[in-house]
Amino acid sequence: MSLMSLRRRTALVLAAVALVSTAAVTAPADAVQDQKPAVPQIAAKPYMGWSSWSLQSTNYPGVNPDGPGSFISEKNILTQANALATKLKPYGYEYINIDAGWQDGGDEYGRPVANLKRFPRGMKAVGDDIHKLGLKFGIYTVVGLGMDVYRDGNTPIHDAPGCFTRDIVYPDLRTTNGWDAAYKINYESPCAQKYADSIARLFASWGVDFIKMDGVGPGSWKGAPDDPNHNNTEDVEAWWRAVQNAGRPMMYTLSWSLSHRYADVWKQNSNGWRIDTDVECYCDTIVKWDSSVKQRWWDVAQWIDDAGPGHWNNLDAVNVGVGAMDGLTDAERQSYMTFWAINSAPLFAGDDLTKLDAYGLKLLTNREVIAINQSGNPARPLNQDQLQQVWYAQNADGSTTVALFNLADSPATVTGRFDQLGIGGKATVRDIWADTNTRDVSGQVSAALPAHGSKLYKITPGNVPVSIPADLTATDVSRTTVSLNWRPSAGATSYRVFANGKQVATSTKPGTVVGGLQPQTQYTFTVQGVKYGRTSDASAGITLYTSKSGGPVRYEAEAPTSTLTGDAGVSGCTLCSGGSKIGNIGYGSTVTLNGITVPATGTYLVKIAYTDGDTSRQSMLTVNGTDSYWVNFHGLGDNDWGTPQVTYLPMKLTAGANSIKVSNPNGYIADIDWITV
């Protein structure tokens, strides 16, 4: 998200939160009802539905006639609910989620109440009408104690005798959440849990099925280790307990751009999390490809293995239903839907469902695409070193879901090789969007794609006893060892690893460290799956040089031999090698590390140390002014620019001294600490 987009989002949400400041004292017929706990499994599959925020955020003509965010109202919500029930419910869409702006202050216990101008009958009545359509009712809240309900600390907490708001905050009234619009809650007080419990029970009494908690950190560019006020892990844990004991099954999700550093906390205490900033552009359409649909291809990569039953990676709304309103080409709309589907991301539309066009309805209701999404088997990229990317997921039935994407701004051909994808022999290739089958395909799938275009295939091989190990990669290299990883091979009980055609290792797991290698020597590695003595075909090979005698050599980015342009400069970094790094890289500012010396021309595993407090940033690495590679720097998402991380990239280097230029003409990148070869 650009700074301007962040400011506009903040302004809209704060405007919605500001409605809280006109605090009403009593709620309209929204009393808590005592209910016994009932906790079936929630979020077994990615949820499907609709959310109001995309329409609230847009400047599209006629959507918000009374000012920013004015779309949100009982009438408009129920209109969308009826449209969803008619058009999308038969395909599995069921949630109607009301975002920021429904609330207007708190009751005498500091619990939220509805804005009666927008929701004159209160939220329970709206939920009841949604339920009558056979749909589920979602609601929005923010983390922390609303400043308006603090009331000099004298607000009593419901069903908690002796507990007041003064008991659950810190004496200095420190602030928290993504907008610093609430007081941070002190969970050392037993009254704090009781406050979360009281709101969860209130939501349950209204018939709420889904809770979105926004502004959660670490994340949303706050909550680094030196910023404890924006660490809301205790809030998340308390709310998780509250939801489990509220007497009604409710899905509990977190927003808006969570830090991956705390993925284990989110998995244990929520049903899902946003991995990125808002998808909306805050402009005259709902989204744009560059603002910010395309960033998801990069940002989700580090989260793939965290998704699963009970908790999913949320990529935000899928706005592909109304071409004129969406701000996308048809190719972009298909890629958008395809990517959300293969990542098992929640599928919730944000468009005006009363205006779905024929193509949008086709995208949203393709049963095969929905089945891929609901299988809960997230895809992963073969690599991300180019803008032409192949994503795949190996399915339980032996088939492989394969998506080809051209993320470039001009047409390009994208190819997925079967030996890289773990597909042996001949296969039947189903083009899902085109609804066609091609039999006896071998070797690869390939497509000429327009800018930002895609293809989606289901590839089913013939009767192959053991599938080829997919996605062979190297993760470390030394003078005498190379660390290898690959994806599990269907049917395999063990694996044979080969170097230059000679078996050098066996493994019962999809990965091993190959030892006994010679320094500064080129090796080509392949892997075969084995089952009862039968072997698969060999995987696609990877070719690498081992390090020269003396081990890998580190090249500091801030060394005097490096060349800086534009605003790129040295900055202090306590945890970085040498106490410094190069920052402010991007647009016209670059750093070139010179004198990177190798003994022979070939491919080397280049390690890069960097810091990135954003969700992720991308950089182009150019070798000797010719060969270029993209690298995806996974970010911490909490504004921590002082903790180094390491990534690696196979790169072709020339015998002798090389230069590696780090740049991105279209955006800022991570700060660079060092490169090791």
In the numeric block, the tokens 């923010």 are attached to: 142
34 domain residue, yes or no:
no
Secondary structure (3-state) at 152:
helix
Domain of residue 579 covers 554-676
Model confidence over 176-207: pLDDT tens digits?
Answer: 999 999 999 999 999 999 999 999 999 999 99
Handedness of CA 477, 482, 485, 486 (dihedral sign): positive
Cα–Cα distance, 326 to 320 (Å, whole number):
6
pLDDT band at 572 (very low <50, low <70, confident <90, very high): very high
Long-range pairs for 67-74: beta carbons < 8 A, 24 or more residues apart: 68/11, 68/12, 68/15, 69/12, 69/15, 69/16, 69/100, 69/101, 72/16, 72/98, 72/99, 72/100, 72/101, 72/102, 72/118, 73/118, 73/119, 74/118, 74/119, 74/120, 74/121, 74/126
Handedness of CA 375, 378, 382, 387 (dihedral sign): positive
Residue 114 in this model has a pLDDT that exceeds 60: yes
Boundary-marking domain end, from 326, 353, 377: 377
| Residues contacting residue 147 through CB under 8 Å, at least 6 positions apart | 21, 181, 182, 183
Q: Are residues 532 and 577 in the same domain?
A: no
Query: What integer pLDDT is reported at residue 16 of this predicted model?
Result: 55
33 domain residue, yes or no:
no
Count of beta carbons in the 10 Å neighbourhood of residue 161: 7
**Average pLDDT estimate for 606-632:** 97
- Here the CATH number for the domain that contains residue 333 is 3.20.20.70
Secondary structure (3-state) at 269:
helix
| Residues contacting residue 39 through CB under 8 Å, at least 6 positions apart | 244, 249
- Here the CATH number for the domain that contains residue 660 is 2.60.120.260
pTM: 0.94
Q: Are residues 223 and 299 in the same domain?
A: yes
Q: How is 344-374 classified by DSSP, letter by letter?
A: T--EEE-S-GGG--HHHHHHHT-HHHHHHHH
Counting the structural domains of the chain, the total is 4
376 within 8 A of 309, measured Cβ to Cβ: yes
Residue 487 in this model has a pLDDT that exceeds 90: yes
Pairing state between β 563-565 and 616-623:
unpaired
Q: Are residues 373 and 490 in the same domain?
A: no
37 domain residue, yes or no:
no
Q: Which has the closest alpha carbon to 481: 524, 513, 526, 504?
A: 513
Boundary-marking domain end, from 345, 377, 409: 377
435 domain residue, yes or no:
yes
512 within 8 A of 527, measured Cβ to Cβ: no
Boundary-marking domain end, from 430, 461, 492: 461
| Residue-averaged pLDDT of the chain | 94
And the tokens for 408?
């470039």
Q: Are residues 252 and 372 in the same domain?
A: yes
Q: Are residues 389 and 367 in the same domain?
A: no
- For 52-191, list the strands marked E by DSSP: 95-97, 103-106, 112-114, 136-142, 145-146, 175-176, 182-183
Q: Are residues 372 and 508 in the same domain?
A: no
Cα–Cα distance, 96 to 110 (Å, whole number):
25
**Average pLDDT estimate for 248-274:** 98
304 domain residue, yes or no:
yes
496 domain residue, yes or no:
yes
30 domain residue, yes or no:
no
Query: What integer pLDDT is reported at residue 12 of this predicted model?
Result: 60
Q: Are residues 405 and 508 in the same domain?
A: no
pLDDT over 70 percentage in the chain: 94
563 domain residue, yes or no:
yes
And the tokens for 38?
């009932």
Secondary structure (3-state) at 216:
coil
Q: Which has the closest alpha carbon to 651: 642, 660, 643?
A: 660
Q: Are residues 241 and 368 in the same domain?
A: yes
Q: Are residues 441 and 407 in the same domain?
A: yes
Count of beta carbons in the 10 Å neighbourhood of residue 571: 16
Buried b (16+ CB within 10 A) or exposed e, 23-49: bbeebbebebeeeeeeeeebbeebbbb
Q: Are residues 339 and 485 in the same domain?
A: no
- Here the CATH number for the domain that contains residue 531 is 2.60.40.10
And the tokens for 221?
């560019």
Q: Which DSSP state fits 637?
A: S
- Here the CATH number for the domain that contains residue 392 is 2.60.40.1180
Q: Are residues 195 and 222 in the same domain?
A: yes
Specify the range with the lowest mean pLDDT, choosing from 200-209, 252-261, 459-468: 459-468
Residue 541 in this model has a pLDDT that exceeds 90: yes
Q: Are residues 320 and 425 in the same domain?
A: no
Count of beta carbons in the 10 Å neighbourhood of residue 662: 26
pLDDT band at 220 (very low <50, low <70, confident <90, very high): confident
577 within 8 A of 570, measured Cβ to Cβ: no
